[in-house]
Chains A and B, each alone.
Chain A
Amino acid sequence: MSNELEFLSRRVAAGKLSRRDFLGRAAALGIAAPFANSLLSSAARAAGPVKGGTLKAGLVGGESTNSLDPALMMTQVPFAFGKCWGEMIVELSPDGKLENRIAEDIGSSKDAKVWTLKIRDGVEFHNGKTVTAEDVAATLERHSDEKSKSGALGYMKGIETIKASGKEVVLTLKEANADLPYLLSDYHLIVQPNGGKDKPDAGISAGPYVVKTNEPGVRHGGERFANYWQGDKMGHADQIEVIVINDATARTAALQGGQVNMINRVEPKIVDLIKRVPGVTIRNHAGPGHYVFIMHCNTAPFDNNDLRMALKLAIDREEMLTKVLRGYGSLGNDFPINAAYPLFTEIEQRKYDPDKAKFHYKKSGHDGTVLLRTSDVAFPGAVDASQLFQQSAAKAGIKIELKREPGDGYWNEVWNKQPFCASYWGGRSTQDQMYSTAYLSTADWNDTRFMRPDFDKMVLAARAELDEAKRKQMYHDMAVMVRDEGGLILPMFNQFIDATGAKVDGWVDDPHQELMNGYALAKCWLQA
């Protein structure tokens, strides 16, 4: 890199040279624009965040039925807005480590059954009250109440008692769980005054922005919280705004037209077109999300492992990855874990093998068609993917009949009800969480009807194991079991594809969720 360019980029960051002049100089020196741009943004990051302005995001995933109650957050808009006004107990940092937020320190007893959270001093709620251990305890209580509708209830049920004393919250678990701190990073667990027991949808927490506008399904707005405890790290823009734009074309148009600074869910098929738009940067990165075809292991004909294996071998993953995701993803291997998880281990990649599929299909004794239900809402491109599956299976002599279901009611009537359908998973932060949510016999969302007492035992044992090497081996064995005997066909992991406009800076890729794990609005800034 030329010294001159570096010098110039610092001058731009300091506001002494215009961006346009810089790009002109870079072109004169024979530097391609994308490289020059990246040079600029790293210089700007080095120069530090710029305060001020209004940062706007146009996001899919908001409905007029949304509420500010963290327990009820399900889709992308409440999630992303929640990270702006809410403060968490702990959070995952982009490199996969745990970052303490309201908890200053987390420690456990040797058997991973009793956990102690030390609450940070001097963090203030938007209503002026200081965050206390009681508030944190009340928050956890609310989300672990059997009667609560909280999306985090599944993990929180494992907590037996919650006690606040002084500056500490002590949690006693029913079963040992080495992953507890990861579970506490669940985005539903926004700390609220008295746990939100009085008024759950008041929108009051200790995050960098104070809720100013809340029009569900239309827009949400926040103003910087003057007393935010980490003002140097977050809350750079004076104001933030989330505009709900569920239509993909409208979303890209809003970014191109400059009405918003960032958008989520760019469709893979248009990424290459968007890349050509001046000033727009595509932010794609791998994550734990995956697209699946799920079979019920307890329903004929899928109760036969040979038939399941035949179907797993009859899918052409590579073709699907290039044609449906246009390469913005990675190959799946029929178990729901990839490198986004801390304790991931490689397992031999399963490949398309029509001959082997034919063999298993014959052995299963099933002939006739297999009915696969699909819909556009199952995942973007699900109908195309199902057709590809149908064709590749036909080459192995397996007839798949496709039934295209209406998107309306798909999640109520088809998913988790019908024996074979297309679906997707957003992934979880730990392997334990993923397996507990969907592969334990008793899991609410056991959508493959995978009921294996031996597997359940392995999950519980791994949960209590503090020795990392041993745990890794356990998770490896569990993955092999799901892969070879489960009802999951997982052709591909999808990437999160977000995009930002010309003046956005401070972006850091985060593998956990889209939009920097929801923090894009809180952590990015607008160049001066």
Chain B
Amino acid sequence: MSSPILKLIAQRIALGILLLLAISVLIFAGTQILPGDVAQAILGQSATPESLANLREQLGLNDPAYVRYFHWLGGVLTGDLGTAMSSGQDIATSIKGRLWNTLFLAFWAAVVAVPLAIILGLIAVRFRNGWVDKLISGLALASTSFPEFFIGYLLVYFFAVKWQIFPAISTVYDGMPFGERMQAIALPATALTLVVLAHMMRMTRAAILNVMQSAYVETAELKGLSAFAVIRKHAFPNAIAPIINVVMLNLAYLIVGVVVVEVIFVYPGMGQYLVDHVTKRDVPVVQAVGLIFAAVYISLNIIADIAAIVANPRLRHPK
């Protein structure tokens, strides 16, 4: 490792932090332009002028927006996300468990989906344009084209109602034995896998095929390497950057885009938490969740960038 790489990485991270700051401004501004202010939303129809004034004072709503923004940001940086308005609970505490659940589900979905997608992509390239390729692409595309709720309901119908192999609902809780927990998340993890599989598979296939056009692949073929060896040794390593990119994109989706799946399978993750609080106009919670989602997105993208940089031989071996 030498300095150009480190410098590039440092740049990316700094950029990521800047971006996150910009997003925090956007989120804050976005919640400010919602109709009615927070105090009005809390008190609803029973609001009297006095109680509104009291609550505004209590919530610090009389301060100018930028003061409130920095107050909020300061809290976030010290790990204090504030308290939920609707239930008075500490947001950081409630989010911790939820975030952990979402990450748990995303992790296991990724453990299945990523290798499967890449292997299927490799196989598709090996038998490109043959029936195996077409079958893989066809099935993957079909599973992606269905809306998530449809896939979810199909899985529930067959695996939970008809054959009763897995539970229909995935309520997990603290202290649940690992085996039971895995059984509980089997169906949502499968649904998520099916949803993200095709995108990664198709990108893997396309990226490798792209490389396959290169002269050095032709050389490799000419020197008599088997088709798989060509792909594995020469094509895949050179296609790794775009593949990592799409993998990261899908990982981010597994974390921030699972609202529908969480609702269908009654999984206590971030998505459900967000939905509950959006309907209650619980602004501090929405802000906190929005910021966490943005952070996840940005960090995964940074990781993808860094991986691409590291995978690039021209940067790894500077002149």
Contacts and interface: CB of A to CB of B under 8 A. Distances in A.
Interface stretch (B109-117, B230-238, B269-277): B269-277
A408 B169 CA distance: 25
A218 B157 CA distance: 22
23 contacts: A64-B276, A64-B277, A65-B282, A217-B276, A219-B173, A243-B169, A243-B171, A244-B266, A245-B266, A246-B266, A247-B263, A250-B168, A253-B153, A253-B157, A253-B161, A253-B169, A254-B167, A256-B161, A257-B156, A257-B160, A259-B169, A407-B279, A412-B41
A259 B167 contact: yes
B43 to A, nearest CB: 10
Contacts of A215: 173, 268
Interface residues of B, number: 34
Interface in B148-163: 153, 156-157, 160-161
A201 B88 CA distance: 12
A318 interface: no
A64 B268 CA distance: 9
Contacts of B272: 64, 217
B280 A254 contact: no
B86 interface: yes
A375 to B, nearest CB: 13
B62 interface: no
Nearest to B153: A249
Nearest to A246: B263
Interface of A: 58, 63-67, 213, 215-219, 243-247, 249-250, 253-254, 256-260, 407-409, 412, 416, 444
Contacts of A217: 268, 272-273, 276
A250 B266 contact: yes
B169 A216 contact: no
Contacts of B213: none
A271 B280 CA distance: 31
Contact of A65 (B44, B45, B84): B84
A73 to B, nearest CB: 13
A66 B153 CA distance: 27
Nearest to A244: B266
A216 B280 CA distance: 14
B82 to A, nearest CB: 15
* Chain B CB within 10 A, most for which of A64, A247, A254, A260: A64
Contacts of B276: 63-65, 217
Nearest to B165: A257
Interface string B4-29: 00000000000000000000000000
B3 interface: no
B135 interface: no
B297 interface: no
The 4 closest A-B pairs by CB, nearest first: A253-B168, A65-B86, A257-B160, A257-B168
Interface string B160-191: 11001001110101000000000000000000
Contacts of B278: 408
Contacts of B168: 250, 253-254, 256-257, 259
A257 B44 contact: no
Contacts of B265: 250
Contacts of A218: 171, 173, 268
Interface in B19-52: 41, 44-46
Contact of A408 (B160, B266, B279): B279
A444 B45 CA distance: 9
A409 B280 CA distance: 8
Contacts of A253: 153, 156-157, 160-161, 168-169
A408 B276 CA distance: 10
A264 to B, nearest CB: 14
Nearest to A221: B173
B164 A257 contact: yes
A245 B156 CA distance: 14
A410 to B, nearest CB: 10
* Chain B CB within 10 A, most for which of A67, A249, A416: A249
A67 B87 CA distance: 7
B264 interface: yes
Interface string B67-106: 0000000000000000010111000001000000000000
Contacts of A216: 87
A407 B280 CA distance: 12
B169 A58 contact: yes
A258 B164 contact: yes
A119 B212 CA distance: 86
A250 B272 CA distance: 14
A66 B169 contact: no
Nearest to A417: B45
Nearest to B262: A247
A249 B264 contact: yes
